[in-house]
Amino acid sequence: MSPDPVLAPARLAELRATGLLDSPADEAFDRFTRLAARLLNAPIALVSLVDADRQFFKSHVGLSGAAADTRQTPLSHSYCRHTVATGNTLAIPDARLHPLVHDNPAVAECGAIAYLGAPLHSADGHVLGTLCVVDHRPRSWSAEQTETIEALAASVSTEIRLLRDLAERRAAERALSRQNELLALLHAVAADANQAATLEGAVTACLRRVCEFTGWPVGHAYFADADGALVSSRIWHADGRFDGFRAATGARRFAAGEGLPGHVLATGEPVWREDVAADPGFPRARAAAECGLHGAFAFPVEVRGRVMGVLEFFSEAAAEPEAAVLDVMRHVGTQMGRVAEREEAQEGLRQNEERTRRIVESAHDAFVAIDASGVVVDWNAQAERTFGWRREEAYESRLADLIIPPARREEHLRGMEELLSTGEGSFLNRRVELEAMHRDGTVFPVEMTVAAVPVAGSRIVTAFIHDISERRHAQQEVRRKEEYFRALIEKASDLITILDLEGMFIYESPAVYQLFGYQGEELRGRNAFELIHPEDVGAVLATFGEILSAPGTTAGVDFRFRHSDGSWRWLGARGTNLLGHPAVGGVVVNSRDITASRAADEALRRLASIVESSDDAIISKTLDGTILSWNTGAERIYGYTAEEVVGRSMDLLVPPEAAGDEARIVELIRRGERIRHYETVRLRRDGRRIDVSMTVSLIRDAQGNVTSASSISRNITERKRAEAELVRAKENAEAASLAKSEFLSRMSHELRTPLNSVIGFTNVLRKNKRGTLGDQELGFLDRIASNGVHLLGLINDILDLAKVEAGKAELELGTVALDDTVMSILTELQGAVRDRPVELRSIVPSVLAPLETDAVKLKQVLINLVGNALKFTERGSVTLAVTADAAGRPVRIDVADTGVGIPRDRLSAIFLPFEQAELGTTRRYGGTGLGLAISTSLCDLMGYRLQVRSEEGEGSVFSIILAPNAIPAEEAPAPRAALAAPSPLPARVDEGADFGGRLVLVIDDEADSRILLTHHAEEFGCRTVTAASGEEGLRMARELRPDLITLDLLMPGMNGWNTLRELRADAELRHIPVVVVSMLAEESRRDLEGADELVDKPVGRSTFLSALRRALARAVSRALVVDADEALRNAAAELLREDGVEVMTAAHATEALALLDGFSPDLVLLDIPISLPGGRELIRALHDRTRRAGVAPPVVVAALDRHEAQLAA
């Protein structure tokens, strides 16, 4: 099994060397995660460093929960480990389906569904972690998105390498600085030692120098006695705080290996102890702890390799060992040895030089020295690493040949010659940057410090050389980032400016043009305060002064700034004092256009003012009804001040009888519903009850949750009082209207009843059957009939108008075949064009769908319109046309005439009651002016529109618009080819009829009506009997079993409606057809279920004839089928039963005779020879039964020969 790349030691070592694990958040990395989240439209972006057992988030955007708090998750939750393992970008569209991570706990616990991560590489090529984005929904990552994450990851990798390089550089610089400080200490101690006259003076100075350098408060010196043990020299650097420790030290003698000084004596090496107070091997631990001493180090004072003394130092805090200090302290001890043994001064000098050499050797810079001829005389280990030449190779070689690029050697040699000959040079004793060459020929940048040292009449040139390749790269990276961030600033929507101490513009970002219309050069050098609104300058100056008060101070202010067009815009600005920053040198101001938000704030203030000044009570409350706010309108309406009610329950306003109101309101609010114009009763502070109209609106938080509610209440007590008065007035008006309606109903009956008789008897006389009336008398009768019809129409119109105005007209919807309706209307009105030069015709599409409407009211409107057209057309034509859409649905009905037309200025007036086109119209043509008013009201009731277009003298077109998207009448096209050609006037109805003695029972309380109906029925060959009441009619129906009944509705006692119900409830009578003949026949259609035909009074002869024919045609309710063939007999019986006929069957005449005892058929189907036994008896029995009952004989359908036909007759 191959090792896991994630756990590779080299990778983990490189990761930990970066110092990024567990480091604080860094804006440099946060910028990359924010940019990644925005560019890739992902909720989560991470810089994830994958450790051995976890992944650490150096930066995160959108992370929540424990992972966000700890900035890490276990390695088991990591998708990034797979990117680290492969070193390649990993794209996961849906983690639930991906083989690598489908069982990863992060799928369920964190909702990490989609993932895109690119590796972060170290300088050595190790994958340290990833830059990744995560989404909570599946994503298909595009190639462009993959390139984006990889580009960003490369930038993050560069940032990591740069941070490590800079850290190493700083560490090296700190080490070098520390070395220089230690070297300075060493030099100072040496100087003190050289100047000191005695050993005590040198040691005292040394103790002071070391304590000052380290900051440690106690220093002490031991010297060896004759036995080689160490005793206190009584030389201290310590104040009185440490007298106890001094006493414990002075009383002791330390042999080799005993205590801290004895250990130095035994080893001859410096020793460091982090905390002597806690060290069981430190004999003075208790005394040290009592004085607060902890850290300690000691070093030997040596002469010719023999330890002749020890210097020890103590700190008040535990301290970790510092090798460089100990190393230098060794040198300090040597200096002390020189003072002790002046004869050993030269040896001490040699040791010091050796120590210096070691310092040079351990330096991170290359050290090189050349003699007067340019030949290398010194070459340290770092020089070997920097240039690739070993020390032995460099010695005796010319420096120019080793490290100077060929192109620069001549210049270098000239400079060295000048320096060596004169001791002067342009680059002497200062740092210069130039190019150097490695052994392999690579040219790279270095920083070099050169010094000329005179030696024995000649000069040696020394140089410290530092490879600055990484620094150059870092500088380039910094410049790149500066350019990047400058680009970000220049693309930012906010305005970024830099001002000097006087407020003059030093820099302004390009947003200054987008926000204020200024080009950059227009503001450069101008004072910002010149462009600030005069009313705001004071506040801005005060804020600017606050910012200038101290470096780094930040403050903000809102003010108005003048746009280039002269208008003022509100700015929200925040400035920071960076005058002392070398790269800025000014006050940085970040500004944002807040004009819109200021306007919104102003609107809120205005709204608050409106709320406070409103006469309505505006109250906000919690969901449990606790009052939160209370405006002055609420104070006026309820009598409480805000201080009295805020924090209290709304229940204090609710009277006992409305106790449940507030609970219902709160429940509706909790369900998120809004309450509009809710009327209820509330209680004022003074105890009075008032009526209020309340609207309650929901208040939601940023997440859309309902948190509270706002109610607006208006005192409607006066309005309710006025409404009550209005209701009383309305009730009075309705009572008056009811009285009027009852009066009109009574009058209609009282007027129309005698008028029906006048018209009916006049029509009877006009027939002049006896021939006794002359032309003049017939003319008079024509005039009577005409005026009677006119008067009846006027009465009907007045009643219809009253009914519509009272709102009592109701729709009775049904399916209407318009083609049948058109033919019916033309049939009824054909008499109006008889003997006149006027053609009555229709245009109906060949395919026409049924219309769902009120058939009676639509027919009434059409009869009104066609009647009007006929009245005002003296010659030409009147056309009733139906227009349909492409699907055959009726959309418009037109009634067009070639009559007198209507003046334009009267087109709107003709639809008003009692209005006609001209004042003389009534006198010339007659009429009341009610027809169009009634028609308009009925069209409105049915949902239609009635329109007219007309030209005076050319005719008119009245249009009923049936559908909302119908073709307007003024844009109506000519009839399409799909329409039928104009239909001619229907043929006149044949009034000749003979119903063969059928018995008709006439039930009517009016004698005149009974006489007229009897007269008409007998003219058509019927026999008649009459009844003056419903009760009498029922009795006669049961006795006589008539073939047809005519029934009036408006009768005293049992009216027509009840009589009809009784007839239909009687099993013996329900089959008898009933024709309702009444003034209320058509308008009562909905309440007359069971009536076969409806005929309005006054009754026309042809109308009555048609009704009789239709009713009697449907009168067969019982049938007797006599047939020897069983199959034919059963087939005939089944067909009759499908039409609702009660059927009895017999195989022969004798069986049929037996059935007649309890069965009275309306129809007999006979298919047997009469000559057979029982045949003649069956025919006679049928005739005898008819004569005894006084009813019409049944219809007999038989297959007979001529002789049998004679017998049957």
- Provide CB contacts within 8 A for 710, sequence distance 6+: 618, 619, 620, 621, 696, 697, 699
- Burial per residue of 264-296, b for 16 or more beta-carbon CB atoms within 10 angstroms, e otherwise: bbeeeebbbbbbbbebeebbbbebbbebebbbb
Of 320-329, 1125-1134, 1197-1206, the range with the lowest mean pLDDT is 1197-1206
> For residues 203 and 236, what is the distance between their CA atoms, to the nearest angstrom?
9
Q: Give the domains, in start order, of the chain with CATH numbers.
A: 5-170 (3.30.450.40), 203-349 (3.30.450.40), 364-470 (3.30.450.20), 482-600 (3.30.450.20), 612-721 (3.30.450.20), 816-961 (3.30.565.10), 999-1112 (3.40.50.2300), 1118-1198 (3.40.50.2300)
> Rounded mean pLDDT of 807-834?
83
d(CA 155, CA 178): 34
Q: CA 296, CA 886: separation in Å to the nearest integer?
A: 110
Question: Could you identify the residue written with the tokens 């799928």?
Answer: 107
Residue 1190: is its pLDDT beyond 60?
no
Of 864, 762, 858, 820, residue with least CA distance to 1082: 858
Render pLDDT for 382-400 as a digit per residue (tens, 0 to 9). Answer: 888 989 999 888 888 888 8
What tens digit of pLDDT does each residue of 708-719 get?
888 888 888 888
Q: Are the beta carbons of 848 and 978 closer than 8 angstroms?
A: no
Which tokens is 1103 given?
A: 């109308």
pLDDT bucket at 1012, cuts 50 / 70 / 90: confident
pLDDT interval class at 45 (50, 70, 90): very high
What's the mean pLDDT in 602-631?
Answer: 78
pLDDT of 104: 92
Question: Is the per-residue pLDDT at 475 higher than 90?
Answer: no
Place of tokens 């001094």: 246
Is pLDDT of 220 > 80?
yes
- What residues contact 905, with CB distance under 8 A and at least 6 apart? none
Find the Cα–Cα–Cα–Cα dihedral 1025, 1030, 1034, 1037, rounded to 10°.
Answer: 20
Query: What average pLDDT is seen over the chain?
Result: 82
How far is Cα 221 from Cα 43, in angstroms, rounded to an integer? 67
The continuous run of DSSP H or E covering 384 comes out as helix 381-387
Examine residue 1098 and say whether the peptide bond preceding it is cis (omega within 30 degrees of 0).
Answer: yes
Per-residue pLDDT at 982 = 42
Q: Which residue has the tokens 């080793």?
A: 402
Find the angle CA(94)-CA(97)-CA(102) to the nearest 5 degrees. Answer: 95
CA distance 64 to 71: 10
Strand partners, 893: 882, 960
Q: Tell me what pLDDT residue 1196 has.
A: 53
Identify the pLDDT of residue 485: 60
Tokens 């998105």, residue located? 145
pLDDT score recorded for residue 987: 39
Across residues 1158-1168, what is the average pLDDT? Answer: 72
Which pLDDT score, from 0 to 100, does residue 409 have?
86
Does residue 72 surpass a pLDDT of 50? yes
User: Looking at residue 1174, what is its pLDDT?
Assistant: 61
Residue count of the chain:
1209
* Residues 641 and 617: beta-carbon distance below 8 Å: no
Q: Which tens digit of pLDDT belongs to each residue from 1014-1044?
A: 988 888 889 999 999 999 999 999 999 999 9
Q: Which residue has the tokens 């020969």?
A: 1201
What residues have CB less than 8 Å from 475, skipping those under 6 apart? Answer: none
Q: Is the dihedral of CA 65, 66, 69, 71 positive or negative?
A: negative
Q: For residue 241, give both structure tokens.
A: 């705080």
Mean pLDDT of the 814-825 span: 89
Query: Is it the case that residue 957 has pLDDT exceeding 70?
Result: yes
Query: Which pLDDT belongs to residue 827?
Result: 83
Poorest-pLDDT segment among 274-283, 566-575, 897-906, 1156-1165: 1156-1165
- What tens digit of pLDDT does each residue of 332-384 get? 888 788 887 754 444 445 665 666 667 677 767 888 988 878 889 889 888 88
Question: Which residue, 1106, 1114, 897, is CA-closest to 988?
Answer: 1106
Average pLDDT over residues 495-522: 77
pLDDT band with cut points at 50, 70 and 90 for residue 927:
low
Beta bridge partners of 594: none
pLDDT of 808 above 80: no
Residue 930 has pLDDT above 70, yes or no: yes
Q: What does the pLDDT look like over 647-678, one tens digit per residue? A: 998 888 889 888 777 777 777 777 777 788 88
How buried is residue 1065: exposed, middle or buried, by Cβ count under 10 Å (0-12/13-18/19+)? Answer: exposed
- Ranking 17-31, 236-250, 450-464, 559-573 by mean pLDDT, the lowest is 450-464
- Which DSSP symbol is given to 704? S
Q: Which of 601-605, 1174-1178, 1202-1206 is predicted with the least confidence, judged by mean pLDDT?
A: 1202-1206
Contact predicate 895/878, CB 8 Å: yes
807: amino acid identity, one letter = G
Decide if pLDDT at 1079 tops 80. Answer: no
986 band by pLDDT with thresholds 50, 70 and 90: very low
CA–CA dist 854, 944 (Å, integer): 12
CA 389 to chain centroid, in Å, comes to: 73
Q: 390 by DSSP, 3-state: which? A: coil
Count the Cβ atoms, other than its own, within 10 Å of residue 807: 9
pLDDT, residue 219, reads: 92
Which CA distances in Å does 162 have to 51, 472, 473, 478? 21, 11, 9, 9
Mean pLDDT, rounded, for 92-97: 94
Query: Which letter does DSSP use for residue 312 in this model?
Result: E
SS3 content of the chain, % helix, strand, coil (to 5): 45, 25, 30
Tokens representing 695 are: 């609207």
Residue 1202 has φ and ψ, to the nearest 5°, of -60, -40
Poorest-confidence range of 30-39, 326-335, 430-439, 641-650?
326-335
Q: C-alpha angle with apex 618: 617 to 622, nearest 5 degrees?
A: 125
CB 293 within 8 A of CB 276: yes
Contact 127, 84 (CB under 8 A): yes
Question: What does the pLDDT read at residue 912?
Answer: 76
The alpha-helical segments, DSSP class H, found in 452-550 are 469-491, 511-516, 520-523, 537-548
The mean pLDDT of 628-657, rounded to a whole number, is: 88
At 324 the pLDDT is 78
Structure tokens at 149: 């994450």
Answer yes or no: is pLDDT of 1073 > 60.
yes
Cα separation, 70 vs 53, in Å, equals 15
pLDDT score at 105 = 93
Of 152-166, 841-855, 1160-1174, minimum mean pLDDT range: 1160-1174
Instruction: Return d(Cα 53, Cα 55) in angstroms, integer.
Output: 7
- Residues 820-841 have a mean pLDDT of 85
Higher pLDDT residue, 769 or 1120?
Answer: 1120
Mean pLDDT on 207-223:
89
Burial class (CB in 10 A: 0-12, 13-18, 19+), 143: exposed
Residues 245 and 236 sit within 8 Å (Cβ to Cβ): no
Question: At residue 867, does pLDDT exceed 90?
Answer: no
Mean pLDDT of 122-140: 93
The pLDDT, as a whole number, for residue 1203 is 38
> Does this model's pTM top 0.75?
no
Q: Quick one: tokens of 752?
A: 């129309």
Please state, in angstroms and as integers, the Cα–Cα distance from residue 659 to each residue in 652, 656, 664, 681, following that order.
Answer: 10, 5, 10, 10
What is the rounded CA–CA span in Å between residue 348 and residue 515? 76
Share of the chain above pLDDT 90, in %: 24
Mean pLDDT, residues 44-65 taken together: 94
Q: Give the model's pLDDT for residue 1206.
A: 41
CA distance 883 to 893: 6
Q: Which two tokens stand for residue 253?
A: 């003698």
Q: Which residues have a Cβ under 8 Å from the Cβ of 780 and sit 6 or more positions away?
A: none
Compute the average pLDDT of residues 687-715.
84
**pLDDT on residue 493:** 62
- Contact between 299 and 250 (Cβ < 8 Å): no
pLDDT exceeds cutoff 50 at 114: yes
Residue 266 DSSP one-character state: H
| Least confident stretch, 4-13, 462-471, 1154-1163 | 1154-1163
The stretch 1137-1162 carries a mean pLDDT of: 78
**Helix ranges (DSSP H) in 492-591:** 511-516, 520-523, 537-548
Return the HEC string of 862-921: HHHHHHHHHHCCCCEEEEEEEEECCCCCEEEEEEEECCCCCCHHHCCHHHCCCCCCCCCH
Other Cβ atoms within 10 Å of 1127 Cβ, number: 8
